[in-house]
Amino acid sequence: MAVAEIVITPLGTGSPSLSAYVAKVHKVLEESGLKYQLTPMGTIVEGDVDKIFEVTRKMHEVLFKEGIQRVVTSLRVDDRRDKQLTMEGKVRAVMEKLK
Amino acid sequence: MAVAEIVITPLGTGSPSLSAYVAKVHKVLEESGLKYQLTPMGTIVEGDVDKIFEVTRKMHEVLFKEGIQRVVTSLRVDDRRDKQLTMEGKVRAVMEKLK
Amino acid sequence: MAVAEIVITPLGTGSPSLSAYVAKVHKVLEESGLKYQLTPMGTIVEGDVDKIFEVTRKMHEVLFKEGIQRVVTSLRVDDRRDKQLTMEGKVRAVMEKLK
Amino acid sequence: MAVAEIVITPLGTGSPSLSAYVAKVHKVLEESGLKYQLTPMGTIVEGDVDKIFEVTRKMHEVLFKEGIQRVVTSLRVDDRRDKQLTMEGKVRAVMEKLK
């Protein structure tokens, strides 16, 4: 189990609005079974590392089918093996130290 | 006004647990006056672009004072000038398209 | 064909020196058949997108076998379908405009 | 002294070609006095940390003056205080271990 951030950026779209593209990519995520959270700067997922790579690969492909010619996809995987990382646990660990 | 993600990573700490470091860096953020949100993969802020750079620079310095010898700081600024970006507005725009 | 940047960061190693770890991860890359270039901030590769994801997944695993408990892996894929991106072509395109 | 990677991405340009924009941003870098290296995935700089933040802030502004409405700027600073990091030294340290 790992926690990861995925950011899919279509380039050259002709408009500075990207939310419609983000929504299209999100449908792949909904069907993936991965736990996820949409943030103002990307999407955070939690789950099996192989699955995270596989789902990111699929998300990367979505916008080419919509006619986009260039996509930059960023994946950042935080993987810890001595202890199980979860989205909720990572935030809680910091919050506890902030008290 | 822009929305940005900041990630501060201390290297060579000797333990895979980093939440105590994240909490220390967070105090700078609390005093900054920037609107912010802690996520499982970093911190998202909203505010004036100059201020975001200035606060990130300060956050970068915190862990050296704690004896850490190497820090990797990532800043990703999303800045839109035809329309005001906010953390909440960015997520809402996607959610509306997902309906 | 795409161009991508891969950064593998072991956390909690106990020393700020990471080059020995980077070298270990690099061996997977040498055996991969992907064209690559080591930079001061990561490794840049060029090749088939599926292959890039597959090789990054393998690189991510290397340091756990060396006893590291936490690894952050970043992959940023720049994929253009109307024209073939290459490492050399991307730099040359900018250099020509700088003249 | 630190080593950093800077990536400036204009969004909504209408064309998947971005090299002309990258070249425009590069002029700020040339005038900055920072040592730099253009890679296929961004620009790597070496120098004083304050200067790196200051120059990145200036680079971020360039494309708005060219009529671009949205720019995503990424800065990743690798800063080590027990030893001087340089672009050349970082690559050499890995190459020596690969022999």
- The Cα-based distances of B78 to C12, C56, D69 in angstroms read 30, 27, 11
* C-alpha–C-alpha distance, residues B10 and B20, integer Å: 11
| Per-residue burial over D58-93, b = 16 or more CB atoms within 10 Å of its CB, e = otherwise | ebbebbeeeebbbbbbbbbbbbbeeeebbbeebbeb
Give the sign of the dihedral formed by CA A21, CA A22, CA A28, CA A30. negative
The pLDDT score that the predictor gives to residue B67 is 94
* C-alpha–C-alpha distance, residues C10 and D53, integer Å: 25
CB contact under 8 A, D97 and C4: no
* C-alpha–C-alpha distance, residues B25 and D66, integer Å: 36
Residue position matching structure tokens 């704690």: B66
CB contact under 8 A, C80 and D16: yes
The residue-averaged pLDDT of D8-32 equals 95
- The Cα-based distances of D2 to B71, B74, D79 in angstroms read 10, 13, 5
Chain B residues with CB under 8 Å of D81 CB are 64, 69-70
Residue B83, both tokens: 């329309």
Residue D53, both tokens: 């933040």
Which strands, in side-by-side order, build the sheet including D35-39? B35-39, B42-47, B2-11, B70-80, D70-80, D2-11, D42-47, D35-39
* C-alpha–C-alpha distance, residues D4 and B68, integer Å: 18
Which domain range does residue B20 map to?
2-98
CB contact under 8 A, B9 and C69: no
DSSP three-state, residue C77: strand
Chain A residues with CB under 8 Å of B3 CB are 40-41
What value of ipTM does the predicted structure carry?
A: 0.96
Nearest to D2 by CA among C87, B40, B72: B72
* C-alpha–C-alpha distance, residues A94 and B38, integer Å: 9
CB contact under 8 A, B16 and C72: no
Tell me the pLDDT tens digit for each residue of B48-72: 999 999 999 999 999 999 999 999 9
Mean pLDDT of chain D: 97
Average pLDDT per block of 10 residues along chain A, 99 residues long: 97 96 95 96 98 98 97 98 96 94
Identity of the residue in C64, C77, C82 whose CB atom sits nearest the CB atom of A81: C64
The pLDDT score that the predictor gives to residue B99 is 85
- The answer to whether C40 and D97 are in contact (CB under 8 A) is no
* C-alpha–C-alpha distance, residues C85 and C5, integer Å: 13
| Cβ-based contacts under 8 A for chains B and D | 65
- The answer to whether C83 and D9 are in contact (CB under 8 A) is no
Tell me the pLDDT tens digit for each residue of C25-76: 999 999 999 999 999 999 999 999 999 999 999 999 999 999 999 999 999 9
Question: Is residue C81's pLDDT more than 90?
Answer: yes
The residue-averaged pLDDT of D30-56 equals 97
Residue B62, both tokens: 């915190």
DSSP three-state, residue D17: coil
Identity of the residue in C49, C50, C60 whose CB atom sits nearest the CB atom of A79: C60
CB contact under 8 A, B15 and C16: no
- The answer to whether D3 and D85 are in contact (CB under 8 A) is yes
CB contact under 8 A, B11 and C14: no
Identity of the residue in A72, A79, A80 whose CB atom sits nearest the CB atom of C78: A72
Give A77→chain B minimum CA distance, Å. Answer: 9
**Chain C positions touching chain A (beta carbons under 8 Å):** 49-50, 53, 56-57, 60, 64, 69-82
Residue B79, both tokens: 């800045």
Q: Which of D57, D61, D64 to mutate to test the interface with B (most CBs of B within 10 A)?
A: D57
Percent of chain B with pLDDT over 70: 100
The residue-averaged pLDDT of B8-32 equals 95
For chain C, how many structural domains are there in total? Answer: 1
Cα pseudo-dihedral D86, D91, D93, D97, rounded to 10: 170
Looking at chain D, which residue has its C-alpha nearest residue A16?
A: D12
* C-alpha–C-alpha distance, residues D71 and D69, integer Å: 7
Chain A residues with CB under 8 Å of B86 CB are 40
* C-alpha–C-alpha distance, residues D54 and D33, integer Å: 12
CB contact under 8 A, A50 and C57: yes
The residue-averaged pLDDT of C3-8 equals 98
| Cβ-based contacts under 8 A for chains A and C | 65
The pLDDT score that the predictor gives to residue C84 is 93
Looking at chain B, which subunits does it touch, using at least 3 CB pairs closer than 8 Å as the criterion? A, C, D
CB contact under 8 A, C42 and D5: yes
The pLDDT score that the predictor gives to residue D99 is 85
* C-alpha–C-alpha distance, residues D30 and D33, integer Å: 7
The CATH number that applies at residue B12 is 3.30.70.930
Gyration radius from chain A CA atoms: 15
Using the 8-state DSSP alphabet, how is residue A64 labeled? G
